[in-house]
Amino acid sequence: MDSDAGSTCSRSSSPDLVVDDSAGSFFSNKMFQTYCRENRADSEAGQGRTEHCGGGGKSKNRSDPDKEEGQDLRLKVNSRERKRMHDLNQAMDGLREVMPYAHGPSVRKLSKISTLLLARNYILMLSSSLDEMKKLVGDVYGGAAAQSRTAAHPTITPAAATVHLPLHPLAQSLHSLVGSTPSALQHHSASTAPHSPPSTSYLSFHAPVQGLLKDPLHLAGSYRHFPGMPCPCSLCQPLPTSTLHSLSMTK
């Protein structure tokens, strides 16, 4: 397809570039070009046919409304499909927003496949961290509760302890998770149990997924981790300098 107008919207998955697909801009950009091209092609084809048929005006009159109807249908279908894909991309952007990688104008957007793979591993990492934390809290406050009972202190339930005690170190580690947009995950941490400090494991891929990409650090080529800012967080520390360098990529 000739999609010259695609230059204006070829990276339109980000909300600010998404072309309003509603009726107001129905013929904007590519749609307009396609519409013009098809009209031109049709008129040319119509000319050719009339020339070829040698004045078959009747058949032309009969076929044109059908053709226009078909065109309208095709345009409608195209528009719906475009809108569907835009919605999908918006959802993908929403997912990117809550993913633990640096967001910014100088940072290249995660690709779709990278977003999905990172999301998967992020969820797996959070799940295992949550399990680990539950275990730890159970161990610590199981003993603490027994002690408090003997000391006539108010009983602290493990759930309450989960909410209060480990918040400080976790808040720090959360910083490393959310990168430059710590607020992105704040509602998560507030509504769910706190998590243990993240490991770097969520950045790498587990065996079944690994085959999808050339290397486990394929993600690294898609975004920069804390651009321009040395990050002392636990997530960055274990990574060798060379790895961090390969992680960074500017536009």
Question: C-beta of 26: minimal distance to DNA in Å?
Answer: 11
Of the residues 50, 111, 189, 246, which one makes contact with DNA according to CB under 7 A:
111
Q: Quick one: which segment of 44-52, 79-87, 139-147, 192-200 binds DNA (CB under 7 A)?
A: 79-87
Cα–Cα dist 203/101, whole Å: 10
Residues 43 and 136: their CA atoms lie apart, in Å, by 75
**Which residue from 102, 107, 114, 137 is in contact with DNA, where contact means CB under 7 A?**
114
Which of 43, 33, 37 lies closest to 4, judged by CA?
A: 33
Convert residues 16-55 into a mask of x (bound to DNA by CB under 7 A) and - (unbound). ---x---------xxx--x---x-----------------
Contact (CB, 8 A) for 225 and 118:
no
Do the beta carbons of residue 121 and residue 206 sit within 8 Å? yes
Q: Which is nearer to DNA, 121 or 173 (CB)?
A: 121
Stretch 190-219: interaction string toward DNA, x if CB under 7 A: ------------------------x---x-
Instruction: Decide whether 223 or 226 has the Cβ nearer to DNA.
Output: 223
Out of 103, 112, 120, 134, the only residue in the binding site for DNA (CB under 7 A) is 112
Contact indicator for 29, 19 with CB cutoff of 8 Å = yes
Site for DNA in 81-110 (CB under 7 A): 81-82, 84-86, 89, 108-109
Binding of residue 187 to DNA (CB under 7 A): no
Total binding residues for DNA by CB under 7 A? 40
Q: HEC profile for 154-207?
A: CCCCHHHHHHHCCHHHHHHHHHHHHCCCHHHHHHHHHHCCCCCCCCHHHHCCCH
- Asked if 135 interacts with DNA (CB under 7 A), we say no
Q: What is the C-alpha to C-alpha distance for residues 198 and 127, in angstroms, rounded to an integer?
A: 11
Angstrom distances, CA of residue 58 to CA of 11, 49, 50, 53: 46, 12, 10, 11
DSSP letter, residue 235: T
Among residues 64 and 87, whose Cβ is nearest to DNA?
A: 87
| Chain positions contacting DNA, by CB under 7 A | 1-4, 6-7, 9-13, 19, 29-31, 34, 38, 74, 76-82, 84-86, 89, 108-109, 111-114, 214, 218, 222, 249, 251
